[in-house]
């Protein structure tokens, strides 16, 4: 029997949390609810969720603070986070993504859209199992174990950055537009904006800092993964 994916809802407004929980439960998910960062941390320590729906504005620590903390913790680093907030400006969306969120949805939102985003993020969380390990010099990626290393030292990547790196390494030296990367890495996720690609490329570059500038920006065209290390 297939296990239902667990979703931790971190939301202090009970009406919104209940609406989300009911719809998740009716669509094959196992939701739990936390009203603030402290109770969310207790839930995470008890049982790691498959995905976190995180409200930006919470009593005590904000969702941004929590996202950054969970992204820096090895235990929660690869757990997908979708930020929920009434702040819909581009600067706020970018701030949420920079804090470690994999996606961002502005309130008010339809439950159909929320479910579509949850399913899409969970699909991206699972690495492609087919295919052999990839290598570019001392940079190694093993899709079967979801591990990346440089010069035999492990690198920590979020689920979206892993899939992005997997695709770029498999198509080294080719230039990919943002639209192409959205199609190949994010798939049928119609809500993601092209600006999101830039945020995840930035995050990938930070994770690969030791390897040097392997992900190049091709002005007016997109991004390219170089097959040779810079001298």
What are the CA-CA distances from residue 159 to residues 71, 82, 204 (Å)? 11, 13, 11
Same domain, 185 and 148: yes
Tell me how many domains the chain contains.
2
Same domain, 175 and 69: no
SS3 for 139?
strand
Using one digit for the tens of pLDDT, what is the confidence trace for 87-101? 666 677 777 777 788
Using one digit for the tens of pLDDT, what is the confidence trace for 153-192? 999 888 888 889 998 998 888 899 988 888 788 765 556 6
pLDDT band at 11 (very low <50, low <70, confident <90, very high): very high
Using one digit for the tens of pLDDT, what is the confidence trace for 117-134? 898 888 766 544 446 788
Same domain, 109 and 212: no
Same domain, 63 and 116: yes
Query: Which tokens in the block code for residue 215?
Result: 């992900």
Same domain, 105 and 142: no
What is the percentage of the chain residues whose pLDDT exceeds 90? 32
Q: In CATH, what number is assigned to the domain containing residue 79?
A: 3.40.50.2300
Per-residue model confidence (pLDDT) at position 54: 94
Asked which of 97, 125, 153 is the last residue of a domain, the reply is 125
Per-residue model confidence (pLDDT) at position 1: 43
* 131 in Cβ contact with 43 (< 8 Å): no
Domain that holds residue 69: 6-125
* 120 in Cβ contact with 187 (< 8 Å): yes
SS3 for 28?
coil
Question: Considering only 1-5, 118-122, 132-136, 206-210, which range has the smallest mean pLDDT?
Answer: 1-5
Asked which of 91, 125, 159 is the last residue of a domain, the reply is 125
Same domain, 93 and 144: no
- Please state the pTM of the whole predicted model: 0.61
Query: Which tokens in the block code for residue 161?
Result: 């950055």
Same domain, 116 and 139: no
Better-scored residue on pLDDT, 140 or 194: 140
Query: Which tokens in the block code for residue 129?
Result: 């199992």
Judge whether 231 lies within some domain: no
pLDDT band at 17 (very low <50, low <70, confident <90, very high): very high
Same domain, 11 and 42: yes
* 148 in Cβ contact with 141 (< 8 Å): yes
Better-scored residue on pLDDT, 147 or 190: 147
Using one digit for the tens of pLDDT, what is the confidence trace for 98-119? 778 888 888 888 888 899 889 8
Same domain, 143 and 213: yes
Same domain, 113 and 140: no
Asked which of 67, 91, 125 is the last residue of a domain, the reply is 125
| Mean predicted confidence (pLDDT) in 38-65 | 92
């Amino acid at each position: 029997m297939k296990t239902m994916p667990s979703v931790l809802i971190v939301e202090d407004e009970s009406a919104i949390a209940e609406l989300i929980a009911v719809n998740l439960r009716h669509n094959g998910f196992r939701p739990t609810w936390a009203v603030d960062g402290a109770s969310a941390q207790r839930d995470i320590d008890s049982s790691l969720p498959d995905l976190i729906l995180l409200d930006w504005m919470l009593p005590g620590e904000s969702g941004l603070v929590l996202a950054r903390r969970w992204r820096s913790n090895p235990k929660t680093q690869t757990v997908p986070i979708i930020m929920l907030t009434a702040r819909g400006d581009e600067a706020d969306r970018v701030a949420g993504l920079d804090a470690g969120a994999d996606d961002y949805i502005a309130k008010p939102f339809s439950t159909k859209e929320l479910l579509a985003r949850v399913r899409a993020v969970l699909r991206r969380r699972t690495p492609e199992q087919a295919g052999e390990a990839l290598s570019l010099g001392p940079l190694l990626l093993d899709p079967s174990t979801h591990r990346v290393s440089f010069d035999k030292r492990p690198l920590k990547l979020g689920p979206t950055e892993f899939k992005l790196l997997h695709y770029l390494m498999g198509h080294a030296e080719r230039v990919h537009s943002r639209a192409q990367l959205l199609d190949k890495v994010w798939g049928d996720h119609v809500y993601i904006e092209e600006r999101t690609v830039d945020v995840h490329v930035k995050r990938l570059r930070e994770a690969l800092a030791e390897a040097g500038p392997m992900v190049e920006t091709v002005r007016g065209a997109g991004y390219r993964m170089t097959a040779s290390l810079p001298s």
